[in-house]
Amino acid sequence: MKNTPFTDKHIALGAKMAEFAGFNMPISYTGINDEHAAVRNNAGVFDVSHMGEFMIKGPHALDLIQRISTNDASKLTAGKAQYSCMPNETGGIVDDLLVYCIEENNVYMLVVNAGNIDKDWNWISLHNTAGAEMENISDKTCLLAIQGPNATQILQSLTDIDILNLKYYTFAKGHFAGVDNVLISATGYTGAGGVEIYFEDKDDAADKIWNAIFKAGAAQGIKPIGLGARDTLRLEMGYCLYGNDIDDTTSPMEAGLGWITKFSKDFTSRELFEKQKANGLAKKLVGFEMLEKGIARHDYEIKDFEGNTIGRVTSGTQSPTLSKAIGMGYVESKYAAIDKEIFIKIRQTLLRAKVVKIPFA
């Protein structure tokens, strides 16, 4: 397993550690519900340095990004970011990602999922026929996500960047905790506000920044947060997790990601997605809440009243905020209407659930 520059700190803090995407990562410290509440109500620090980062540069950089992704990166100006996905040739999703415009038409940073770093690099390289400059900076890039309603207030004294007024899906570069050339963005994966901090791990930058954050937030009660609460937080917002809710077999249209699928440009599988849009979808990703006691888990079958299989669960948990079991899953489109009753097969029992609007919280 790989370590991040913060692994020893997690272990010293007593975190429950486990393998995730090839990395030794903290799952929880004081418990998922406690950490979840800390982020919703105050502020928490996630080590997400396992994520992948690629730099795409040069006169052909934008063209490459446009051909491999569904969203329209030509709309980006320096200091702005967008959510997008890379479709494969059969209408599935290679990965979902963030595109950061460092320098318009010339320099971009792509942030990809940890488990897909090699896969994504190979896919992008395969389509780099015009010779854009590519650099995989994943191994030397640290990434901390400080999330929660009090996050920016706690961090503002550590930087010359006005993070209190940093707009959603924008970013800036500057000094942070005595470290130069730190990129601070507001993209978020929790729905609780906050920022993400990207920096190169050199000259003890990881130690400096980690220690400064916890010193600045000590009086406010800032906490380290594991991947367990990251999952419950993102699920309450209805955010997709690659490998669960989207993968190589699901299309962005089916996953409710039509809003990042722009038909004003050419990209892989565009014609397939246009046909799905025109002809209607066979299945859709929906949110649901359990009406009977039980928690739906990944790959559980979704049934109709007669017991026929109509889909499968992709994510499910007991929502700490709502105190009820929620989940997402793909169902045949005729069962996707809000308030439609469906059934989740848990062990050998069919338990009632209903389709609800996303986000849940």
Give domain 282-356's CATH superfamily. Aminomethyltransferase beta-barrel domains (2.40.30.110)
The pLDDT, as a whole number, for residue 122 is 98
pTM over 0.95: yes
**Per-domain boundaries in the chain:** 1-237, 282-356
pLDDT of res. 126 = 98
Which pLDDT belongs to residue 291? Answer: 98
What is the reported pLDDT for 162? Answer: 98
Query: Rounded CA gap, 242 and 92, in Å?
Result: 12
Question: Rounded to whole angstroms, how far apart are CA atoms 118 and 212?
Answer: 33
pLDDT of res. 21: 95
27: tokens are 């799952």
Question: Which tokens is 338 given?
Answer: 């809000």
pLDDT < 50 positions in the chain:
none
Token pair in block for residue 215:
């010193």
DSSP secondary-structure letter at 265? S
Can the peptide bond before residue 359 be classed as cis, meaning omega within 30 degrees of 0?
A: yes
Assess contact for 95 and 14: CB atoms under 8 A.
no
Domain 1-237: CATH architecture, name and number where available: 2-Layer Sandwich (3.30)
Pick the closest to residue 197 from 143, 243, 240 (CA basis). 143
> Taking the CA of residue 121 as centre, how many other CA atoms within 13 Å lie in the half-sphere pointing to its CB?
15
Q: How far is CA 349 from CA 128, 300, 301, in A?
A: 50, 11, 11
By C-alpha distance, which of 347, 350, 48 is closest to 197? 48
* Separation of alpha carbons 122 and 142, rounded Å: 22
Torsion of CA 347, 351, 357, 360, to 10 degrees: -60
CA–CA separation, 169 vs 165, rounded Å? 12
Q: Taking a C-beta distance cutoff of 8 angstroms, is the pair 254, 330 a contact?
A: yes
Residue 282: other Cβ atoms inside 10 A = 11
**What SS3 string covers 89-158?**
CCCCEEEEEEEEEEECCCEEEEEECHHHHHHHHHHHHHCCCCCCEEEECHHHEEEEEEECCCHHHHHHHH
Contacts for 193 with CB less than 8 Å, ≥ 6 apart? 147, 148, 149, 151, 152, 186
Q: Which amino acid is at 197?
A: I
39 phi and psi angles, rounded to 5 deg: -75, -40
Whole-number mean pLDDT of the chain?
Answer: 98
pLDDT digits (tens, 9 = 90+) for 128-180: 999 999 999 999 999 999 999 999 999 999 999 999 999 999 999 999 999 99
